[in-house]
């Protein structure tokens, strides 16, 4: 049997808030609004170009290689430029519309509320740990109904350091008044959540619904949030 935990630190995007679904809904709406079919073969063409660019720039941002504006606007500007649409002002407006509209979407990961209600009854102290933008994460939590479950929202922007850096976890535990041995991190990123927590000395749960293969040493791995009901 696992040791008893008191503090649970949840990643937000794609761990409890359904980032993938919400992102596609937002981008499809904006694709139409901006008449991007004039430049891209289809929405799928746009999304296939955008995804690797977005992933690369997020990685650069997390390691302080680029600034927040370079990430927010650059991911769209670079995507647009890949089909010859070289207009920074359009990219800036699109980027702002994306951030605003995406944070209003409310889809959550299956069994998120079942799990959170169960954990609340068990009197766990629950916290959010996220690398997302400050101006969006609170909106996501409020609009989706997730906010009332969490004692603290720890955002990398406020600390000046992102997951997976140990300093992020140090700040979050200090902010929650939690000890390592009574804490558990739950997230969908092997690098940011699992490896970050492990390197700092905290137990971790890897949420892996797509059952991606990997060679990381993981404390516990799950494919559905409902697997934590009863285990915790």
141-171 tens-digit pLDDT: 999 999 999 999 999 999 999 999 999 999 9
CB-neighbour burial class of residue 107 (10 A; exposed 0-12, middle 13-18, buried 19+):
middle
Contact between 15 and 207 under an 8 Å Cβ cutoff? The reply is: yes
How far, in Å, CA of 31 to CA of 46, rounded? 9
Nearest to 179 by CA among 1, 20, 3: 3
- Where residue 38 falls among pLDDT bands split at 50, 70, 90? very high
- Counting every residue written for the chain, the total comes to 232
Beta bridge partners of 207: 222
pTM (2 d.p.): 0.94
CB-neighbour burial class of residue 168 (10 A; exposed 0-12, middle 13-18, buried 19+):
buried
Beta bridge partners of 9: 127, 185
How far, in Å, CA of 147 to CA of 119, rounded? 14
Tokens representing 122 are 């068990």
Residue ranges per structural domain of the chain: 7-18+108-228, 20-102
The full DSSP string for 189-207 is -IIIIIIHHHHHT-EEEEE
152 Cβ contact list (under 8 Å, min separation 6): 127, 128, 172, 175, 176
- Where residue 1 falls among pLDDT bands split at 50, 70, 90? very low
Nearest to 116 by CA among 2, 209, 10: 10
The pLDDT, as a whole number, for residue 10 is 98
How far, in Å, CA of 10 to CA of 208, rounded? 14
104-151 tens-digit pLDDT: 999 999 999 999 999 999 999 999 999 998 989 999 999 999 999 999
The pLDDT, as a whole number, for residue 3 is 72
Say which CATH architecture domain 20-102 belongs to.
Answer: Orthogonal Bundle (1.10)
Nearest to 102 by CA among 73, 58, 143: 143
The CATH code belonging to domain 7-18+108-228 is 3.40.50.1000
69 Cβ contact list (under 8 Å, min separation 6): none
pLDDT value at 175 more than 80: yes
Tokens representing 149 are 């479950």
């Amino acid at each position: 049997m696992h040791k008893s935990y008191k503090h649970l630190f949840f990643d937000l995007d794609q761990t409890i808030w359904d980032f993938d679904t919400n992102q596609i809904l937002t981008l499809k709406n904006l694709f139409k609004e901006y008449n991007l079919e004039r430049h891209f073969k289809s929405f799928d063409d746009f999304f296939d170009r955008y995804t690797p660019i977005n992933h690369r720039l997020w990685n650069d941002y997390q390691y302080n290689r680029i600034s927040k504006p370079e990430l927010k606007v650059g991911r769209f500007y670079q995507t647009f430029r890949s089909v010859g649409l070289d207009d920074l002002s359009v990219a800036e407006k699109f980027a702002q519309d994306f951030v605003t509209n995406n944070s209003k979407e409310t889809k959550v990961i299956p069994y998120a509320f079942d799990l959170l209600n169960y954990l609340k009854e068990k009197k766990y102290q629950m916290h959010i740990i996220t690398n997302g933008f400050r101006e969006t994460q609170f909106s996501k939590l409020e609009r989706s109904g997730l906010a009332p479950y969490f004692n603290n929202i720890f955002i990398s922007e406020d600390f000046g350091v992102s997951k997976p850096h140990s300093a992020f976890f140090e700040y979050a535990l200090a902010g929650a008044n939690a000890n390592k041995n009574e804490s558990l991190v739950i997230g969908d990123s092997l690098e940011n959540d699992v490896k970050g927590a492990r390197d700092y000395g905290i137990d971790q749960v890897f949420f892996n619904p797509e059952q991606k293969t990997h060679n990381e040493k993981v404390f516990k791995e799950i494919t559905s949030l409902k697997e934590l009901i009863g285990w915790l």
